[in-house]
Amino acid sequence: MAIGFDYGTANCSVAQLFDGVVKQIPLVGDDLYVPSTLCAPNSETVSEYLFRCKEIKPVNASGEALLRRAIKVNHEEGLDVRSDDVKFGHEALELYLEDPKDVYYVKSPKSFLGAMGLRDMQLSFFEDLVCAMMSNIKNRTESHLNQEVTQAVIGRPVNFLGRGGDKSNIQAEGILRNAANRAGFKDVEFQFEPVAAGLEFESSLTEDKNVLIVDIGGGTTDCSMIQMGPSWAQQLDRTDSLLAHSGQMVGGNDLDIYTAFKCFMSEFGMGTKRHSGLDIPLIQFWNPIVISDVQAQRSFYAHDNLAVLQQFLREAKEPEKVSRLLTLHKETLGYSVIREAEKTKIALGDNEHYRANLNLLSETFQVDVTKSSLEAAIEPPTSKIKALVEEAVVQSGIKPDMVFMTGGSARSPILTNAVKSVLGEIPVVRGDFFGSVTSGLARRADLLFR
C-alpha cells in the first residue's frame, strides 16, 4: 500500500487516495498532524531505542559505531532503554517544557540534514533521528489502516539548508531515503513540495493554467511555476510542465527566530552596556534561539560559554536582564522562547497588539509587541521570500495566470501581502495551508505505485 508522506519541518502528515478522493490519515486520536519533534533522556537513547525496541539495525560501519557508543554511554549512566523513553510530537514538547534541563529535545531535524562538514557518525545520528520519527508515523498509519504500508512518495524542499548546493541536497535526500528504508518503506520516491501542492490544486482546475505555487512552510519557502490542468493531470512525466523552481531554507521558523531576536532579546540584555562601555556581543543573543543551526546551539549551550556569560553578568550595567540570559543557558530554554515567538506571530496576524508571556521557570515576565514591530522584525526573511517569488517568475519567462499559496506560514497576512506586492493584480488563491502538500504527494503515490 502506498501513501503520500509529508515529513515536514514543522509537522508530519500522511494521506492516501481512495476512489479518487484524498483522505488524510489520523495519527494521534483525530489529529492529522504530528509535530516534527522528539525527546529522550539523552541523545544516545535514540540509537539504542531503534535497535532494542524497534529492531531496526544500523546499515553501515558508522551506524554500528554510533550504536556501540550509545549502548556504552547508557550502560555507564545506568539507563535501561525502554520503548516509552522516546516520545514524539506534542508528548515530546510537553515533557521538554516540564523539565527542559534534563531532557534531550530536538525540533525539526529536517532543517539541518544538508549541513556540510559533518562527520560520518553525525550523519548516522541524524539518520537515526529521522528513522525514529518516520517509524513512529509508519506504525501509527498502519495501526489506523490495519494493514502494512511499504511504499511512499515523500516531499522534499527544492533546496535543503546547507552551503554545499547540490551536495547538500544529495546528502539530505540520502539521509531521508536511508531512514525511510530502515523504517520499513521498501519503495521510496521524492517529489518537490511545491509541485506536490500544485498537484492537489490541479485537481480543481477545469482548464489549463500557468500557476505559481508559493509554499511557505516551517523551514523552507519553495516556488514553482507549473503548467497544470486537465491536459497534464494524469501524466507520470511532468518534466515539460515544470517551468521554474526557486527555493531556500527560509520559513516559519525564521519568522519565529527573528521575532524572538528583535522583540524579546532586549529583555535578556541585548543592547546592554558593560561598565567598559562595550556591548555584549550579539551572537550571545542569536545563538540560543536559532534552533535550526546545530553549531550555534552547541556554541551557546557549551559548558565553556557559561563562564563567558557569568563574566558578562559581572560587567553588565543592567545585570537583572543579563541574569535571564544565564537562566536561558542553564535551563536550556531556547525552544520555550521560540514557542512564545510563534504564538506572538500567529496572534498578530489578526490583532494589532499582543502581550507575550516568557516563562523562565524561576520568573515569568511580559513583553508587549505590536504588528508594526513584528513586521519590522521579520523584514529580513520576508525580503528573502519576495526574492524567491521574483526569481521563479524571471526563470520561467512568463507571468502566472494565478498564484496558489500554501504552507502553514502562508496563513500570515503579512506574507500574503508581501507576495502580492511582487506580483501586482494577479489573483492569489489560498488553499489548505497544512494539507495541500500531503494531498499532492498522495496523488503522486497513486500514479506511481498503482
Please name the residue that has the C-alpha cell 493531470: 233
Is the pLDDT at 264 greater than 90? The verdict is yes
Same domain, 10 and 33: yes
Mean pLDDT of 408-433: 86
pLDDT at 86: 97
Rounded distance between C-alpha atoms, residue 212 and residue 244, angstroms: 9
287: domain range?
253-377
Instruction: Give the number of C-alpha atoms closer than 13 A to the C-alpha of residue 40, restricted to the C-beta side.
Output: 24
Residue closest to 88 by CA, chosen among 151, 46, 149:
46
Q: How would residue 390 be classed by pLDDT, with cut points 50, 70 and 90?
A: very high
Please indicate, yes or no, whether residues 33 and 57 belong to a single structural domain of this protein.
yes
Query: Which DSSP symbol is given to 272?
Result: P
Percentage of residues in the chain with pLDDT exceeding 70? 99
Of 332, 125, 108, nearest in space to 217 by CA: 108
The reported pLDDT for the residue numbered 87 is 96
Which of 85-89, 218-222, 266-270, 393-397 has the weakest average pLDDT? 218-222
Whether residues 161 and 297 share a domain: the answer is no
| 378 or 165, which is more confident | 378
Residues 380 and 257: their CA atoms lie apart, in Å, by 11
pLDDT digits (tens, 9 = 90+) for 362-378: 899 999 999 999 999 99
Number of domains in the chain: 3
Is residue 162 predicted with pLDDT exceeding 70?
A: no
Does residue 70 carry a pLDDT above 70? yes
pLDDT at 238 over 90: no
Q: What is the pLDDT of residue 159?
A: 83
Same domain membership, residue 238 and residue 169: no
Most confident of 10-14, 234-238, 259-263, 413-417: 259-263
Is the pLDDT reported for residue 345 higher than 80?
yes
Distance, CA of 9 to chain centre: 2
| Final residue of a structural domain among 168, 193, 218 | 193
Q: For residue 185, give Cα distances in angstroms to 91, 245, 331.
A: 25, 28, 38
For residues 401-427, average pLDDT: 89
Q: Which pLDDT tens digit goes with each residue over 205-218? A: 999 999 999 989 88
Q: Same domain, yes or no, for 38 and 153?
A: yes
> What whole-number distance in Å separates Cα of residue 105 and Cα of residue 43?
8
Residue 294 has pLDDT above 80, yes or no: no
* CB within 8 Å of 20: residues ≥ 6 apart: none
Kindly state whether residue 436 falls inside one of the protein's structural domains. no
Write down the pTM of the prediction: 0.78
**Is residue 254 predicted with pLDDT exceeding 70?**
yes
pLDDT number for residue 257: 96
Q: Are residues 306 and 370 in the same domain?
A: yes
Residue 120 in any domain: the answer is yes
Does 445 fall in a domain? no
Q: How far apart are CA 450 and CA 447, in angstroms?
A: 6
How many percent of the chain have pLDDT more than 90?
A: 71
Amino acid occupying residue 50: L
Q: Which whole number is the average pLDDT over 381-387?
A: 96
Q: Are residues 244 and 261 in the same domain?
A: no
First to last CA, the chain: 9
pLDDT for 65 beyond 80: yes
- Judged against a pLDDT cut of 70, whether residue 353 lies above it is answered with yes
Do 16 and 80 reside in the same domain of the chain? yes
- Judge whether residue 177 has pLDDT over 90: yes
Domain annotation covers residue 442: no
Residue that is written with C-alpha cell 550502560 in the block: 75
Predicted pLDDT of residue 240:
87
So what's the pLDDT on residue 67? 97
Mean pLDDT of the chain: 92
Least confident of 317-326, 352-361, 401-410: 401-410
Whether 437 maps to a domain, the answer reads no
> pLDDT category, 204, cuts 50, 70, 90?
confident
- Which CATH number characterizes residue 101's domain? 3.30.420.40
**Residue 438 belongs to some domain of the structure:** no
Kindly state the cell numbers that stand for 160. Answer: 535543503
What is the tens place of the pLDDT at every residue in 84-131?
999 999 999 888 877 777 889 898 888 889 888 889 999 999 999 999
Q: Does residue 203 sit within a domain?
A: no
Given a cut of 80, whether residue 60 has pLDDT beyond it is: yes
What's the CA gap between 245 and 299, in Å, rounded? 34
Say yes or no: 334 and 214 in one domain: no
Mean pLDDT of all residues in 160-171: 82
Residues 6+ positions from 245 with CB-CB distance below 8 Å: 158, 192, 194, 222, 223, 224, 225, 392, 395
Assess whether 79 and 119 both reside in one domain.
yes
Residues 74 and 89 in one domain: yes
Tell me, yes or no, whether 392 lies in a domain: yes
The answer to whether the beta carbons of residues 50 and 131 sit under 8 Å apart is: yes
- pLDDT the model gives residue 293: 77
β-sheet bridge partners, residue 196: none
Note the pLDDT of residue 109: 87
Q: 151 and 25 in one domain? A: yes
